Structure 1
Amino acid sequence: MPSILVFDIFGTVVDWHGSIVREVAALYPQVDADAFALAWRAGYQPAMQRVRGGETGWTRLDELHRGILDEILPRFGLQHLDDAERAHLNRVWHRLAPWPDSVAGLTRLKQRFTICSLSNGNIGLLTNMAKRGGLPWDCVLSAEVFRAYKPDPRVYLGAAAVFDVPPAEVMLVAAHHDDLAAARACGLGTAYIERPLEFGAGHVKDVSPVPANQWHARDLVHLAEQLGC
Protein backbone atom coordinates (compact mmCIF):
# COMPACT_ATOMS: atom_id res chain seq x y z
CA MET A 1 0.00 0.00 0.00
CA PRO A 2 1.44 3.43 -0.89
CA SER A 3 1.96 6.09 1.76
CA ILE A 4 1.50 9.09 -0.54
CA LEU A 5 -1.45 9.82 -2.84
CA VAL A 6 -0.92 12.40 -5.57
CA PHE A 7 -3.91 13.73 -7.46
CA ASP A 8 -4.61 14.95 -10.94
CA ILE A 9 -6.81 18.02 -10.50
CA PHE A 10 -8.69 19.17 -13.62
CA GLY A 11 -11.63 16.77 -14.03
CA THR A 12 -10.52 14.49 -11.20
CA VAL A 13 -10.89 16.75 -8.15
CA VAL A 14 -12.60 19.81 -9.67
CA ASP A 15 -15.34 20.24 -12.27
CA TRP A 16 -13.63 22.44 -14.86
CA HIS A 17 -16.42 22.17 -17.45
CA GLY A 18 -19.33 22.97 -15.15
CA SER A 19 -17.43 25.80 -13.46
CA ILE A 20 -16.49 27.49 -16.74
CA VAL A 21 -19.98 27.03 -18.17
CA ARG A 22 -21.53 28.73 -15.11
CA GLU A 23 -19.19 31.72 -15.21
CA VAL A 24 -19.36 32.24 -18.97
CA ALA A 25 -23.16 31.92 -18.97
CA ALA A 26 -23.40 34.52 -16.20
CA LEU A 27 -20.96 36.98 -17.81
CA TYR A 28 -21.83 36.49 -21.49
CA PRO A 29 -25.32 34.94 -21.81
CA GLN A 30 -25.24 35.30 -25.60
CA VAL A 31 -22.38 32.76 -25.82
CA ASP A 32 -22.76 28.97 -26.09
CA ALA A 33 -21.01 28.34 -22.77
CA ASP A 34 -20.72 24.58 -23.29
CA ALA A 35 -18.97 25.02 -26.64
CA PHE A 36 -16.79 27.77 -25.16
CA ALA A 37 -15.59 25.55 -22.29
CA LEU A 38 -14.84 22.66 -24.64
CA ALA A 39 -12.97 24.91 -27.09
CA TRP A 40 -10.84 26.37 -24.31
CA ARG A 41 -9.97 22.94 -22.97
CA ALA A 42 -9.27 21.63 -26.48
CA GLY A 43 -6.31 23.98 -26.70
CA TYR A 44 -4.77 22.59 -23.50
CA GLN A 45 -2.82 19.61 -24.84
CA PRO A 46 -1.55 21.34 -28.01
CA ALA A 47 -0.31 24.30 -25.94
CA MET A 48 1.55 22.02 -23.52
CA GLN A 49 2.95 20.01 -26.41
CA ARG A 50 4.64 23.13 -27.74
CA VAL A 51 6.45 23.38 -24.41
CA ARG A 52 7.18 19.64 -24.22
CA GLY A 53 8.55 19.65 -27.76
CA GLY A 54 10.84 22.60 -27.15
CA GLU A 55 9.01 24.90 -29.56
CA THR A 56 8.65 27.36 -26.68
CA GLY A 57 10.48 27.60 -23.36
CA TRP A 58 8.93 26.74 -20.02
CA THR A 59 5.58 28.55 -19.71
CA ARG A 60 3.16 28.38 -16.78
CA LEU A 61 -0.33 27.07 -17.42
CA ASP A 62 -1.86 30.47 -16.61
CA GLU A 63 -0.05 31.92 -19.62
CA LEU A 64 -0.96 28.96 -21.84
CA HIS A 65 -4.61 29.33 -20.84
CA ARG A 66 -4.48 33.05 -21.68
CA GLY A 67 -3.01 32.34 -25.09
CA ILE A 68 -5.75 29.82 -25.86
CA LEU A 69 -8.39 32.25 -24.60
CA ASP A 70 -7.14 35.04 -26.86
CA GLU A 71 -7.29 32.65 -29.81
CA ILE A 72 -10.88 31.49 -29.24
CA LEU A 73 -12.56 34.78 -28.24
CA PRO A 74 -13.22 35.92 -31.85
CA ARG A 75 -14.91 32.58 -32.56
CA PHE A 76 -17.51 33.41 -29.90
CA GLY A 77 -17.93 37.11 -30.72
CA LEU A 78 -15.92 38.23 -27.68
CA GLN A 79 -12.93 39.77 -29.43
CA HIS A 80 -13.94 43.15 -27.94
CA LEU A 81 -13.02 42.13 -24.37
CA ASP A 82 -10.34 44.38 -22.93
CA ASP A 83 -7.29 43.15 -21.06
CA ALA A 84 -8.90 43.40 -17.61
CA GLU A 85 -11.93 41.39 -18.76
CA ARG A 86 -9.69 38.78 -20.36
CA ALA A 87 -7.53 38.54 -17.24
CA HIS A 88 -10.61 38.05 -15.03
CA LEU A 89 -12.02 35.37 -17.33
CA ASN A 90 -8.65 33.60 -17.52
CA ARG A 91 -8.59 33.30 -13.75
CA VAL A 92 -11.76 31.20 -13.85
CA TRP A 93 -9.28 28.30 -13.75
CA HIS A 94 -8.33 29.46 -10.23
CA ARG A 95 -12.01 29.36 -9.23
CA LEU A 96 -12.99 25.87 -10.38
CA ALA A 97 -15.40 24.18 -7.98
CA PRO A 98 -14.66 20.76 -6.46
CA TRP A 99 -16.88 17.83 -7.35
CA PRO A 100 -19.44 17.28 -4.56
CA ASP A 101 -17.50 14.32 -3.11
CA SER A 102 -14.02 15.82 -3.33
CA VAL A 103 -13.60 17.61 0.01
CA ALA A 104 -15.18 14.78 2.01
CA GLY A 105 -13.16 12.14 0.17
CA LEU A 106 -9.86 13.98 0.50
CA THR A 107 -10.49 14.64 4.18
CA ARG A 108 -10.96 10.93 4.80
CA LEU A 109 -7.94 9.93 2.71
CA LYS A 110 -5.80 12.50 4.55
CA GLN A 111 -6.33 10.61 7.82
CA ARG A 112 -4.25 7.70 6.53
CA PHE A 113 -2.18 9.06 3.63
CA THR A 114 -0.16 12.13 2.72
CA ILE A 115 -2.28 13.78 0.02
CA CYS A 116 -0.84 16.11 -2.58
CA SER A 117 -1.82 17.70 -5.87
CA LEU A 118 0.17 16.67 -8.94
CA SER A 119 -1.24 18.85 -11.67
CA ASN A 120 -0.14 20.67 -14.79
CA GLY A 121 -1.70 23.73 -13.18
CA ASN A 122 0.78 26.22 -11.74
CA ILE A 123 1.32 26.66 -8.01
CA GLY A 124 -0.59 29.93 -7.66
CA LEU A 125 -3.57 28.53 -9.56
CA LEU A 126 -3.66 25.34 -7.47
CA THR A 127 -3.26 27.22 -4.19
CA ASN A 128 -6.04 29.69 -5.00
CA MET A 129 -8.29 26.84 -6.09
CA ALA A 130 -7.60 24.90 -2.88
CA LYS A 131 -8.21 27.95 -0.69
CA ARG A 132 -11.50 28.75 -2.41
CA GLY A 133 -12.76 25.17 -2.57
CA GLY A 134 -11.55 23.96 0.82
CA LEU A 135 -9.28 21.27 -0.62
CA PRO A 136 -7.25 19.96 2.34
CA TRP A 137 -3.89 19.23 0.71
CA ASP A 138 -0.84 18.34 2.77
CA CYS A 139 1.28 19.70 -0.07
CA VAL A 140 0.70 21.48 -3.39
CA LEU A 141 2.90 20.02 -6.13
CA SER A 142 2.72 21.26 -9.68
CA ALA A 143 4.40 20.64 -13.01
CA GLU A 144 5.85 24.11 -12.39
CA VAL A 145 8.12 22.62 -9.68
CA PHE A 146 9.66 20.25 -12.22
CA ARG A 147 9.42 22.60 -15.24
CA ALA A 148 7.87 19.76 -17.23
CA TYR A 149 4.29 18.87 -18.10
CA LYS A 150 2.72 15.46 -17.56
CA PRO A 151 3.14 12.87 -18.99
CA ASP A 152 6.86 13.72 -18.77
CA PRO A 153 8.42 11.18 -16.36
CA ARG A 154 10.13 14.05 -14.50
CA VAL A 155 6.77 14.96 -12.96
CA TYR A 156 5.90 11.50 -11.60
CA LEU A 157 9.44 10.65 -10.51
CA GLY A 158 9.85 14.16 -9.14
CA ALA A 159 6.88 13.66 -6.82
CA ALA A 160 8.55 10.59 -5.33
CA ALA A 161 11.85 12.46 -5.05
CA VAL A 162 10.21 15.35 -3.18
CA PHE A 163 9.20 12.93 -0.44
CA ASP A 164 12.42 10.87 -0.73
CA VAL A 165 10.54 7.62 -1.32
CA PRO A 166 10.64 5.02 -4.09
CA PRO A 167 8.02 5.49 -6.86
CA ALA A 168 6.07 2.47 -5.57
CA GLU A 169 5.34 4.42 -2.36
CA VAL A 170 3.33 6.92 -4.44
CA MET A 171 -0.05 6.39 -6.10
CA LEU A 172 -1.55 8.69 -8.72
CA VAL A 173 -5.30 9.25 -8.46
CA ALA A 174 -6.78 10.47 -11.73
CA ALA A 175 -9.79 10.40 -14.04
CA HIS A 176 -7.63 10.02 -17.17
CA HIS A 177 -6.20 6.70 -18.31
CA ASP A 178 -3.31 8.28 -20.26
CA ASP A 179 -2.09 10.07 -17.12
CA LEU A 180 -2.36 6.85 -15.12
CA ALA A 181 -0.52 4.81 -17.77
CA ALA A 182 2.37 7.28 -17.75
CA ALA A 183 2.53 7.11 -13.95
CA ARG A 184 2.54 3.31 -14.01
CA ALA A 185 5.42 3.35 -16.49
CA CYS A 186 7.39 5.26 -13.84
CA GLY A 187 6.58 2.70 -11.15
CA LEU A 188 3.74 4.53 -9.39
CA GLY A 189 0.53 2.87 -8.29
CA THR A 190 -2.68 4.03 -9.95
CA ALA A 191 -6.30 4.61 -8.97
CA TYR A 192 -8.94 5.59 -11.53
CA ILE A 193 -11.83 7.86 -10.55
CA GLU A 194 -14.98 7.80 -12.67
CA ARG A 195 -15.99 11.26 -13.82
CA PRO A 196 -18.55 10.54 -16.54
CA LEU A 197 -19.68 14.19 -16.61
CA GLU A 198 -16.21 15.73 -16.91
CA PHE A 199 -17.13 17.22 -20.30
CA GLY A 200 -20.72 18.00 -19.33
CA ALA A 201 -24.02 16.13 -19.46
CA GLY A 202 -24.09 16.41 -23.25
CA HIS A 203 -20.78 14.60 -23.64
CA VAL A 204 -20.82 11.65 -21.23
CA LYS A 205 -17.41 9.99 -20.92
CA ASP A 206 -16.70 6.26 -21.03
CA VAL A 207 -15.50 5.29 -17.54
CA SER A 208 -14.96 1.56 -18.12
CA PRO A 209 -12.34 -0.07 -15.89
CA VAL A 210 -8.81 -0.71 -17.12
CA PRO A 211 -7.38 -3.81 -15.43
CA ALA A 212 -3.89 -2.29 -15.13
CA ASN A 213 -5.15 0.16 -12.48
CA GLN A 214 -4.94 -1.19 -8.94
CA TRP A 215 -8.08 0.68 -7.89
CA HIS A 216 -11.24 1.84 -9.65
CA ALA A 217 -13.68 4.06 -7.77
CA ARG A 218 -16.91 5.93 -8.45
CA ASP A 219 -15.60 9.00 -6.65
CA LEU A 220 -13.13 10.02 -3.94
CA VAL A 221 -15.38 8.91 -1.08
CA HIS A 222 -15.63 5.49 -2.68
CA LEU A 223 -11.83 5.39 -3.01
CA ALA A 224 -11.50 6.27 0.68
CA GLU A 225 -13.82 3.41 1.55
CA GLN A 226 -11.79 0.99 -0.57
CA LEU A 227 -8.53 2.12 1.06
CA GLY A 228 -9.93 1.70 4.57
CA CYS A 229 -10.31 5.38 5.42
Structure 2
Amino acid sequence: MPGTDDVEVVVFDVLGTMVDESGGLRAALHEALPASVDGASVERMLTVWQEHVEREQRRIGEGVRAYANSEVIDREAAERVAECAGLSDPAAIGQLARASQRLKPWPDSVAGLARLAGRFPVLGLSHAAPGALLRLNAYAGLRWHQALSGEEVRAYKPAPEVYRLAIEAAGCPAERVLMVAAHAWDLRGAQAAGMRTAYVRRPVGDPPRSTDTFDREVQSLEELAAALKVA
Protein backbone atom coordinates (compact mmCIF):
# COMPACT_ATOMS: atom_id res chain seq x y z
CA MET A 1 0.00 0.00 0.00
CA PRO A 2 1.34 3.47 -0.78
CA GLY A 3 2.35 5.41 2.28
CA THR A 4 0.96 8.73 3.42
CA ASP A 5 3.74 10.53 1.56
CA ASP A 6 2.35 9.14 -1.70
CA VAL A 7 -1.41 9.50 -1.20
CA GLU A 8 -2.62 13.09 -1.11
CA VAL A 9 -6.38 12.70 -1.60
CA VAL A 10 -8.82 9.86 -0.84
CA VAL A 11 -11.89 9.38 -3.05
CA PHE A 12 -14.80 7.16 -2.01
CA ASP A 13 -17.55 5.51 -3.95
CA VAL A 14 -20.78 6.17 -2.04
CA LEU A 15 -23.59 3.74 -2.96
CA GLY A 16 -22.81 0.34 -1.49
CA THR A 17 -19.43 1.44 -0.17
CA MET A 18 -20.46 4.06 2.38
CA VAL A 19 -24.19 3.33 2.62
CA ASP A 20 -26.25 0.14 2.54
CA GLU A 21 -27.96 0.60 -0.81
CA SER A 22 -29.62 -2.82 -1.03
CA GLY A 23 -30.81 -2.69 2.58
CA GLY A 24 -32.27 0.79 2.14
CA LEU A 25 -34.11 -0.14 -1.03
CA ARG A 26 -35.41 -3.32 0.62
CA ALA A 27 -36.75 -1.30 3.56
CA ALA A 28 -38.41 1.19 1.20
CA LEU A 29 -40.08 -1.64 -0.70
CA HIS A 30 -41.41 -3.15 2.53
CA GLU A 31 -42.84 0.27 3.40
CA ALA A 32 -44.39 0.93 -0.01
CA LEU A 33 -45.84 -2.48 -0.82
CA PRO A 34 -48.97 -3.92 0.83
CA ALA A 35 -48.43 -5.71 4.13
CA SER A 36 -49.66 -8.92 2.51
CA VAL A 37 -46.59 -9.02 0.22
CA ASP A 38 -44.15 -11.62 1.55
CA GLY A 39 -40.38 -11.38 1.85
CA ALA A 40 -39.73 -13.42 -1.28
CA SER A 41 -41.85 -11.03 -3.32
CA VAL A 42 -39.97 -8.06 -1.89
CA GLU A 43 -36.71 -9.67 -2.96
CA ARG A 44 -38.10 -10.14 -6.48
CA MET A 45 -39.10 -6.48 -6.59
CA LEU A 46 -35.63 -5.50 -5.39
CA THR A 47 -34.17 -7.49 -8.27
CA VAL A 48 -36.53 -5.74 -10.71
CA TRP A 49 -35.30 -2.38 -9.40
CA GLN A 50 -31.61 -3.23 -9.48
CA GLU A 51 -31.73 -4.83 -12.91
CA HIS A 52 -33.48 -1.79 -14.37
CA VAL A 53 -30.91 0.62 -12.93
CA GLU A 54 -27.96 -1.49 -14.02
CA ARG A 55 -29.38 -2.02 -17.52
CA GLU A 56 -30.14 1.66 -18.11
CA GLN A 57 -26.76 2.82 -16.84
CA ARG A 58 -25.12 0.28 -19.11
CA ARG A 59 -27.20 1.43 -22.10
CA ILE A 60 -26.12 5.01 -21.42
CA GLY A 61 -22.49 3.91 -21.20
CA GLU A 62 -22.82 2.09 -24.52
CA GLY A 63 -24.36 5.14 -26.18
CA VAL A 64 -27.66 3.35 -26.78
CA ARG A 65 -29.55 5.81 -24.58
CA ALA A 66 -29.01 9.51 -24.03
CA TYR A 67 -27.80 10.46 -20.55
CA ALA A 68 -30.45 10.48 -17.83
CA ASN A 69 -29.56 11.22 -14.24
CA SER A 70 -30.09 8.88 -11.30
CA GLU A 71 -33.34 10.52 -10.23
CA VAL A 72 -34.89 9.81 -13.63
CA ILE A 73 -33.71 6.20 -13.62
CA ASP A 74 -34.83 5.64 -10.02
CA ARG A 75 -38.27 7.00 -10.92
CA GLU A 76 -38.42 4.54 -13.82
CA ALA A 77 -37.39 1.72 -11.49
CA ALA A 78 -40.08 2.68 -8.97
CA GLU A 79 -42.72 2.74 -11.69
CA ARG A 80 -41.60 -0.65 -12.98
CA VAL A 81 -41.83 -2.10 -9.45
CA ALA A 82 -45.25 -0.50 -8.97
CA GLU A 83 -46.48 -2.06 -12.21
CA CYS A 84 -45.20 -5.50 -11.20
CA ALA A 85 -46.61 -5.24 -7.67
CA GLY A 86 -49.94 -3.60 -8.51
CA LEU A 87 -49.06 -0.44 -6.58
CA SER A 88 -51.10 2.54 -7.80
CA ASP A 89 -50.82 5.23 -5.11
CA PRO A 90 -48.86 8.13 -6.69
CA ALA A 91 -47.58 9.33 -3.30
CA ALA A 92 -46.24 5.87 -2.44
CA ILE A 93 -44.59 5.55 -5.84
CA GLY A 94 -43.00 8.99 -5.44
CA GLN A 95 -41.71 8.07 -2.00
CA LEU A 96 -40.29 4.84 -3.37
CA ALA A 97 -38.58 6.71 -6.22
CA ARG A 98 -36.66 8.73 -3.62
CA ALA A 99 -35.56 5.67 -1.63
CA SER A 100 -31.92 6.08 -2.70
CA GLN A 101 -31.84 9.37 -0.80
CA ARG A 102 -32.61 7.53 2.47
CA LEU A 103 -29.87 4.95 2.86
CA LYS A 104 -28.20 4.15 6.18
CA PRO A 105 -24.41 4.25 6.51
CA TRP A 106 -22.45 1.12 7.31
CA PRO A 107 -21.44 1.00 10.99
CA ASP A 108 -17.89 2.26 10.32
CA SER A 109 -18.69 4.81 7.60
CA VAL A 110 -19.27 8.02 9.55
CA ALA A 111 -16.44 7.57 12.06
CA GLY A 112 -14.05 6.14 9.47
CA LEU A 113 -14.67 9.00 7.07
CA ALA A 114 -14.16 11.56 9.83
CA ARG A 115 -10.91 9.89 10.87
CA LEU A 116 -9.53 9.89 7.33
CA ALA A 117 -10.76 13.46 6.77
CA GLY A 118 -8.56 14.58 9.64
CA ARG A 119 -5.50 13.63 7.61
CA PHE A 120 -6.56 13.80 3.93
CA PRO A 121 -8.94 15.75 1.73
CA VAL A 122 -11.81 13.30 1.20
CA LEU A 123 -14.10 13.28 -1.83
CA GLY A 124 -17.29 11.37 -2.55
CA LEU A 125 -17.70 10.23 -6.16
CA SER A 126 -21.16 8.93 -6.96
CA HIS A 127 -23.63 7.97 -9.66
CA ALA A 128 -26.26 9.89 -7.70
CA ALA A 129 -27.55 13.16 -9.14
CA PRO A 130 -26.37 16.26 -7.24
CA GLY A 131 -29.68 16.87 -5.44
CA ALA A 132 -30.07 13.21 -4.53
CA LEU A 133 -26.45 13.06 -3.36
CA LEU A 134 -26.95 16.14 -1.17
CA ARG A 135 -29.95 14.59 0.56
CA LEU A 136 -28.31 11.19 0.88
CA ASN A 137 -25.21 12.66 2.51
CA ALA A 138 -27.37 14.62 4.96
CA TYR A 139 -29.49 11.55 5.80
CA ALA A 140 -26.49 9.26 6.29
CA GLY A 141 -24.37 11.85 8.11
CA LEU A 142 -21.52 11.69 5.60
CA ARG A 143 -19.30 14.76 5.76
CA TRP A 144 -17.12 15.26 2.71
CA HIS A 145 -14.70 18.00 1.80
CA GLN A 146 -16.34 17.73 -1.62
CA ALA A 147 -19.02 15.46 -3.10
CA LEU A 148 -18.94 14.88 -6.85
CA SER A 149 -21.68 13.54 -9.09
CA GLY A 150 -21.13 11.82 -12.41
CA GLU A 151 -23.90 14.06 -13.71
CA GLU A 152 -21.27 16.80 -13.98
CA VAL A 153 -19.78 14.91 -16.93
CA ARG A 154 -23.07 13.21 -17.92
CA ALA A 155 -21.69 9.73 -17.43
CA TYR A 156 -21.74 6.77 -15.07
CA LYS A 157 -18.75 4.87 -13.75
CA PRO A 158 -16.74 3.11 -15.07
CA ALA A 159 -16.63 5.76 -17.82
CA PRO A 160 -13.13 7.31 -17.62
CA GLU A 161 -14.44 10.87 -17.55
CA VAL A 162 -16.01 10.24 -14.14
CA TYR A 163 -12.64 9.33 -12.61
CA ARG A 164 -11.00 12.26 -14.37
CA LEU A 165 -13.57 14.48 -12.65
CA ALA A 166 -12.25 13.30 -9.27
CA ILE A 167 -8.61 13.59 -10.32
CA GLU A 168 -9.15 17.15 -11.53
CA ALA A 169 -10.93 18.03 -8.28
CA ALA A 170 -8.04 16.51 -6.29
CA GLY A 171 -5.58 18.80 -8.06
CA CYS A 172 -2.71 16.31 -7.96
CA PRO A 173 -1.39 13.47 -10.15
CA ALA A 174 -3.70 10.47 -10.48
CA GLU A 175 -1.13 8.18 -8.80
CA ARG A 176 -1.48 10.27 -5.63
CA VAL A 177 -5.27 9.81 -5.51
CA LEU A 178 -6.64 6.73 -3.75
CA MET A 179 -10.02 5.38 -4.88
CA VAL A 180 -11.90 3.37 -2.24
CA ALA A 181 -14.84 1.16 -3.21
CA ALA A 182 -16.69 -2.06 -2.39
CA HIS A 183 -17.04 -2.78 -6.12
CA ALA A 184 -14.13 -4.32 -7.99
CA TRP A 185 -15.51 -3.10 -11.34
CA ASP A 186 -15.33 0.47 -9.98
CA LEU A 187 -11.72 0.02 -8.88
CA ARG A 188 -10.76 -1.40 -12.27
CA GLY A 189 -12.08 1.80 -13.83
CA ALA A 190 -10.07 3.86 -11.36
CA GLN A 191 -6.94 1.84 -12.10
CA ALA A 192 -7.39 2.47 -15.81
CA ALA A 193 -7.43 6.20 -15.03
CA GLY A 194 -4.12 5.86 -13.13
CA MET A 195 -5.52 6.06 -9.58
CA ARG A 196 -4.41 3.99 -6.59
CA THR A 197 -7.08 1.58 -5.37
CA ALA A 198 -8.38 0.12 -2.12
CA TYR A 199 -11.13 -2.49 -1.92
CA VAL A 200 -13.21 -2.37 1.27
CA ARG A 201 -15.31 -5.44 1.96
CA ARG A 202 -19.04 -4.95 2.53
CA PRO A 203 -21.88 -7.47 2.96
CA VAL A 204 -22.89 -6.62 -0.60
CA GLY A 205 -20.75 -5.50 -3.50
CA ASP A 206 -18.53 -6.86 -6.23
CA PRO A 207 -15.55 -8.74 -4.75
CA PRO A 208 -12.18 -8.84 -6.50
CA ARG A 209 -11.28 -11.56 -8.95
CA SER A 210 -8.12 -13.60 -8.57
CA THR A 211 -6.65 -11.52 -11.40
CA ASP A 212 -7.26 -8.16 -9.68
CA THR A 213 -4.25 -6.41 -8.17
CA PHE A 214 -5.55 -3.57 -6.04
CA ASP A 215 -3.17 -1.68 -3.78
CA ARG A 216 -5.02 -2.81 -0.67
CA GLU A 217 -7.95 -5.01 0.35
CA VAL A 218 -9.38 -4.15 3.78
CA GLN A 219 -12.24 -5.28 5.99
CA SER A 220 -13.20 -1.81 7.21
CA LEU A 221 -12.42 1.89 7.03
CA GLU A 222 -10.62 1.57 10.36
CA GLU A 223 -8.25 -0.92 8.76
CA LEU A 224 -7.76 1.42 5.82
CA ALA A 225 -6.99 4.33 8.15
CA ALA A 226 -4.43 2.21 9.99
CA ALA A 227 -2.82 1.21 6.68
CA LEU A 228 -2.55 4.89 5.77
CA LYS A 229 -1.04 5.59 9.21
CA VAL A 230 -3.88 7.87 10.26
CA ALA A 231 -3.86 8.52 13.99
TM-score, scaled relative to structure 2: 0.88
The SS at the match of 2:158 is coil
In 2, the alpha carbon distance for the partners of 1:161 and 1:123 equals 18
Q: CA deviation at 1:207?
A: 6.4
2:181/2:199 contact within 8 Å kept = yes
| Aligned partner of 2:197 among 187, 190, 200 | 190
| Aligned partner of 2:89 among 73, 76, 81 | 81
Letter in 1 for 2:189: A
In 2, the alpha carbon distance for the partners of 1:145 and 1:18 equals 27
The alignment's C-alpha RMSD in Å is 1.9
Q: CA deviation at 1:206?
A: 5.2
Letter in 1 for 2:174: P
What does residue 185 of structure 2 align with? 178
Q: CA deviation at 1:162?
A: 2.1
What does residue 72 of structure 1 align with? 81
What does residue 58 of structure 2 align with? 49
What CA deviation, in whole Å up to 9, does each residue of 1:16-44 have, x standing for no partner? 11112223223323333333223211222
Letter in 2 for 1:118: L
| Aligned partner of 1:30 among 21, 36, 54 | 36
1:168/1:188 contact within 8 Å kept = yes
Q: CA deviation at 1:58?
A: 2.1
In 1, the alpha carbon distance for the partners of 2:16 and 2:211 equals 18
What CA deviation, in whole Å up to 9, does each residue of 1:148-190 have, x standing for no partner? 1111100111211123221112111001111101110110000
| Aligned partner of 2:25 among 11, 16, 20 | 20
Q: Cα 1:70–1:17, aligned 2, differ >3 Å: closer, same or farther?
A: same
Q: Cα 1:210–1:138, aligned 2, differ >3 Å: closer, same or farther?
A: farther
Q: CA deviation at 1:8?
A: 1.0
The SS at the match of 1:225 is helix
What CA deviation, in whole Å up to 9, does each residue of 1:43-101 have, x standing for no partner? 222111222233332211110111122123222232x232x322211111001111111
1:194/1:217 contact within 8 Å kept = yes
1:39 has 2:45 as partner: no
In 1, the alpha carbon distance for the partners of 2:199 and 2:168 equals 23
- Which segments of 5 or more consecutive residues in structure 1 lack a partner in the other structure? 200-204
What does residue 6 of structure 1 align with? 11
In 2, the alpha carbon distance for the partners of 1:208 and 1:18 equals 24
1:6/1:115 contact within 8 Å kept = yes
What does residue 125 of structure 1 align with? 132
TM-score, scaled relative to structure 1: 0.89
Letter in 1 for 2:61: R
- Which segments of 5 or more consecutive residues in structure 2 lack a partner in the other structure? 1-5
What CA deviation, in whole Å up to 9, does each residue of 1:185-218 have, x standing for no partner? 11000000101x227xxxxx75677651111111
In 2, the alpha carbon distance for the partners of 1:209 and 1:132 equals 36
1:175/1:192 contact within 8 Å kept = yes
In 1, the alpha carbon distance for the partners of 2:96 and 2:170 equals 35
In 1, the alpha carbon distance for the partners of 2:61 and 2:211 equals 27
Q: Cα 1:175–1:206, aligned 2, differ >3 Å: closer, same or farther?
A: closer
1:106 has 2:113 as partner: yes
1:102/1:221 contact within 8 Å kept = no
